[in-house]
Amino acid sequence: MRPPELGDEDLRSLYGYPDELDSPWFRVNFVSSIDGAVSVDGVSGGLGTPADKRVFTVLRELADVIVVGAGTARSENYGGAHTDTELAQRRTGSGLSAVPPIAVVTASARLDPTSRLFTDTTIPPLVLTSAAADATRLQHLRDAGADVQIVAEREVRGTDLVSALDQRGLRRVLCEGGPGLFGTLLEDGVVDELCVTTSPRLIGGTAGRISLSPTAVPTSMVPRHVLADADGTLLTRWVRA
């Protein structure tokens, strides 16, 4: 199947979350090069293709919340998600909020209160952190409008994120990385699904891969679909076996 032959409604259907979720469903989305690089010169933009961009947009449209590690928010200069009137109406018609919040996971609270996360957004970002984070930095983030939630005493684990998002009724979770956060989620067994775009490029260099954790955590997954675009982009969706 080729993405240009698929309409947006087809993609929404192919990437639909399970119905009637009674706990958060963690979908993780990444783009990688054929040789496994997660970035080019420290950002993922160099891996993007038109088909990847389409799916990235559809995945955001279907989500209650977009979760991201602070490393990615900093290196990719994250801003809030944007919706136009038509998209907002489609979302609210499907029982979603008009705009999905960005939830940043951080241990250090080292986020710049003047960055796009706070200034280029229509709704406040969530900052999910631990009681060990620097109190002054957290206050600066609150002052900049962040909705700060202490979700753990020391280390933020995948299960802490599941509980925090569940309490807020945010069950259709889209995690956009990065590799450090994905590794933690994998270690904690909370990854329900992975969407990976393979970009038709070889990168070499020293870029890492999509997941990083101190120990290996072999996790069996089964394919839901594999789509190929004419330019060679492969769009895959995997769910936990």
Ligand X SMILES: NC(=O)c1ccc[n+]([C@@H]2O[C@H](COP(=O)([O-])OP(=O)(O)OC[C@H]3O[C@@H](n4cnc5c(N)ncnc54)[C@H](OP(=O)(O)O)[C@@H]3O)[C@@H](O)[C@H]2O)c1
By the 10 Å C-beta count (0-12 exposed, 13-18 middle, 19+ buried), 5 is classed as exposed
The smaller minimum CB distance to ligand X, of residues 25 and 78, is found at: 78
Helix (H, G, I), strand (E, B) or coil at 21: coil
47 binds ligand X (CB under 6 A): yes
Find out whether the peptide bond into 79 is cis, omega within 30 degrees of 0: no
- The site for ligand X, by CB under 6 A, has a size of 29
Return the structure tokens found at 4: 């240009």
194 binds ligand X (CB under 6 A): no
Among 11, 105, 175, 235, binds ligand X (CB under 6 A): 105
The smaller minimum CB distance to ligand X, of residues 3 and 69, is found at: 69
Find out whether the peptide bond into 178 is cis, omega within 30 degrees of 0: yes
125 binds ligand X (CB under 6 A): no
Nearest-approach distance from CB 11 to ligand X, in angstroms = 18
Q: Which residue has the tokens 């590794």?
A: 183
Residue 106, CA distances (Å) to 23, 113, 142 in order: 22, 14, 14
Print burial letters for 152-168: b (CB count within 10 Å at least 16), e (below 16): beeebbbebbbebbeeb
* Binding positions for ligand X, 159-178, rule CB under 6 A: 176-178
* Binding positions for ligand X, 68-87, rule CB under 6 A: 68-72, 75-76
Nearest-approach distance from CB 125 to ligand X, in angstroms = 13
Query: What's 217's DSSP letter?
Result: -
The smaller minimum CB distance to ligand X, of residues 23 and 108, is found at: 108
The smaller minimum CB distance to ligand X, of residues 24 and 69, is found at: 69
Nearest-approach distance from CB 94 to ligand X, in angstroms = 25
Q: Which residue has the tokens 């998209």?
A: 87
Q: Which residue has the tokens 């299960």?
A: 159
Amino acid at 157: R
Amino acid at 81: A
Nearest-approach distance from CB 186 to ligand X, in angstroms = 11
The smaller minimum CB distance to ligand X, of residues 29 and 121, is found at: 29
184 binds ligand X (CB under 6 A): yes
Chain residues that interact with ligand X, rule: CB under 6 A = 30-31, 38-39, 42-44, 47, 68-72, 75-76, 105-108, 110, 156, 176-181, 184, 212
